[in-house]
């Protein structure tokens, strides 16, 4: 089906085993749908996440809230720390590279991570170019604030997209804004005729073939998750009702009062996102949520979502 057929020239059903195809990269993300991917900084946290029902963990040195607090340059994590997490759990392990830092991505691939997040949460290494993601066997997920940005990432080889939100704030407002923007952009494409799609591609600064595919499908050709500010079960369910196929939770879990309980609650609310009784039930007695930051108090340089283009 179209969601798994690449827009590049990879062959399907090859006679000999073939790794790194668009179908296995995008197909991996299809297996994560309906799930929660949790930021973890130690093997112990990774086990808590796995026990709570996470579909994958994101191994990083500091959660976004601490990156925000500490300042300085945020880079790829220590390989020892990533390996420690890989060895601690059986679920997939993701890790972040800086935008455009294809050598960090090469290292992550060599370490055997299951997905690379070319992430605006880390300090960008290139202010013009993102990494060429087709060059890797390991699939990539990238952030986007609108459809054009999502399609540029897919054109570069991203096999999964997450709306960016504003990581490390515990404030879901930007995640809502970006997901609504992507969905609204897709809905507008649906209303265009074939003549208009060429101009739309130009406006979106995205390849025409991808724009046409989205107009036909009514969704991205890859899995779309939401990220950046999810802190409660209701936040996760909100993002799913708005059209996200799953959620990333960063600081929201391990910066809260009872991480194990909150993690399990967010997992349940993500599956039963359309059942307020379940969401109410799992939201009881979770202890303190992370404090959070009001995004309108952030300066432009404090906004991660503006990184990447």
Partner 1 sequence: MTTPDIGGATGGGADVTVGVLALQGDVREHLAALTAAGAEARPVRRPEELAEADGLVIPGGESTTISKLATAFGLLEPLRERVRSGMPAYGSCAGMIMLADKILDPRAGQETIGGIDMIVRRNAFGRQNESFEAAVEVAGVEGGPVEGVFIRAPWVESTGAEVEELAVVDGRAVAVRQGRLLATAFHPELTGDHRVHRLFVDMVRASVM
Classify 71 as helix, strand or coil: coil
Contact 117, 96 (CB under 8 A): yes
Cα-based angle 160, 66, 90 (whole degrees, multiple of 5): 45
Q: From CA 159, how far away is CA 118, in angstroms rounded? A: 12
The DSSP secondary-structure symbol of 134 reads G
Q: Tokens representing 123?
A: 């300090």
For position 230 contacting partner 1 by CB under 8 A, the verdict is no
For position 91 contacting partner 1 by CB under 8 A, the verdict is yes
Q: From CA 304, how far away is CA 302, in angstroms rounded? A: 6
Rounded to the nearest whole angstrom, what is the least distance from the CB of residue 112 to partner 1 in the complex?
A: 5
Q: From CA 7, how far away is CA 3, in angstroms rounded? A: 10
Nearest to 162 by CA among 267, 36, 42, 63: 36
For position 4 contacting partner 1 by CB under 8 A, the verdict is yes
- CB neighbours of residue 95 within 10 Å: 29
Nearer to partner 1, 60 or 94 (CB): 94
For position 141 contacting partner 1 by CB under 8 A, the verdict is no
Considering only residues 83, 271, 289, 302, which one is a binding residue for partner 1 as defined by CB under 8 A?
271
Nearest to 100 by CA among 120, 78, 71: 120
For position 129 contacting partner 1 by CB under 8 A, the verdict is no
For position 108 contacting partner 1 by CB under 8 A, the verdict is no
Nearer to partner 1, 21 or 146 (CB): 21
Q: From CA 262, how far away is CA 260, in angstroms rounded? A: 6
Nearer to partner 1, 90 or 297 (CB): 90
- Tell me the C-alpha to C-alpha distance, in Å, between residue 295 and each of 73, 168, 175, 179, 182: 21, 10, 11, 16, 20
Rounded to the nearest whole angstrom, what is the least distance from the CB of residue 274 to partner 1 in the complex?
A: 10
Nearer to partner 1, 137 or 241 (CB): 137
For position 41 contacting partner 1 by CB under 8 A, the verdict is no
Print the binding letters for residues 48-77 with partner 1: x by CB under 8 A, - otherwise. Answer: --xxxxxxx---------------------
For position 299 contacting partner 1 by CB under 8 A, the verdict is no
Nearest to 263 by CA among 239, 233, 229, 226: 233
For position 284 contacting partner 1 by CB under 8 A, the verdict is no
For position 42 contacting partner 1 by CB under 8 A, the verdict is no
For position 83 contacting partner 1 by CB under 8 A, the verdict is no
Nearer to partner 1, 96 or 268 (CB): 268
Rounded to the nearest whole angstrom, what is the least distance from the CB of residue 13 to partner 1 in the complex?
A: 3
For position 21 contacting partner 1 by CB under 8 A, the verdict is yes
Across-strand partners of 226? 163, 247
Catalytic residue IDs: 96
Classify 67 as helix, strand or coil: helix
Q: Tokens representing 22?
A: 């668009």
Site for partner 1 in 250-269 (CB under 8 A): 264, 267-268
Residues lying near partner 1 in the complex (CB under 8 A) are found at: 1-5, 12-21, 23-24, 27-28, 30-35, 50-56, 90-92, 109, 112-115, 137-139, 264, 267-268, 271-272
């Amino acid at each position: 089906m179209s969601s798994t057929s690449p827009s590049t020239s990879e062959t399907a059903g090859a006679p000999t085993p073939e790794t790194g195809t668009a179908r296995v990269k995008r197909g991996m993300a299809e297996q994560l749908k309906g799930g929660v991917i949790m930021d973890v900084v130690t093997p112990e946290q990774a086990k808590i996440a796995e026990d709570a029902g996470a579909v994958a963990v994101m191994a990083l040195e500091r959660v976004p809230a601490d990156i925000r607090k500490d300042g300085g340059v945020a880079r790829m994590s220590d390989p020892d720390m990533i390996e420690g997490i890989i060895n601690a759990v059986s679920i997939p392990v993701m890790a972040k590279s800086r935008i455009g830092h294809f050598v960090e991505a090469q290292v992550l691939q060599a370490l055997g991570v299951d997905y690379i997040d070319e992430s605006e949460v880390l300090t960008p290494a290139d202010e013009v170019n993102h990494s060429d993601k087709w060059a890797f066997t390991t699939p990539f997920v990238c952030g986007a604030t609108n459809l054009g940005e999502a399609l540029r990432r897919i054109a570069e080889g991203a096999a999964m997209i997450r709306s960016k939100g504003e990581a490390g704030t515990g404030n879901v407002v930007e995640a809502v804004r970006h997901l609504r923007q992507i969905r609204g952009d897709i809905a507008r494409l649906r209303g265009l005729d074939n003549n208009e799609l060429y101009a739309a591609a130009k406006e979106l600064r995205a390849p025409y073939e991808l724009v046409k595919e989205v107009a036909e499908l009514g969704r991205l050709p890859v899995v779309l998750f939401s990220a950046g500010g999810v802190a409660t079960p209701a936040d996760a369910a909100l993002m799913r009702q708005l059209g996200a196929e799953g959620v990333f939770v960063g600081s929201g879990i391990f910066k809260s009062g009872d991480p194990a309980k909150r993690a399990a609650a967010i997992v349940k609310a993500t599956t039963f996102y359309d059942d307020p009784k379940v969401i109410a039930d799992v939201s009881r007695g979770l202890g303190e949520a992370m404090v959070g930051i009001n995004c309108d108090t952030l300066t432009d340089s404090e906004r991660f979502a503006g990184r990447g283009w």
